[in-house]
Amino acid sequence: MTDVQDLQRRIIELDVEHRDLDAVISMLTADGHGDQLQLRRLKKRKLQLKDHITLLKMQLVPDIPA
């Protein structure tokens, strides 16, 4: 049962990081003075986090026999 709890904990951690990145990206774009390279890197990291969260959530779903 700890594997499920570990996965859930990791999903929560990644979700928090994803939301934090979203806030930083919004702040930098609203300011208008954000470095474009930095914004691209942050957006890329945000997408990587989203993909990783999706993969972890898929691991929580039990396999359904065909």
Residue 1 pLDDT exceeds 90:
no
What's the rounded Cα separation, in Å, for the pair 66 and 35? 50
What's the rounded Cα separation, in Å, for the pair 43 and 21? 8
Output the six-digit token pair for 62.
């039990």
When pLDDT is cut at 50, 70 and 90, the band that residue 64 belongs to is confident
pTM score over 0.75 = yes
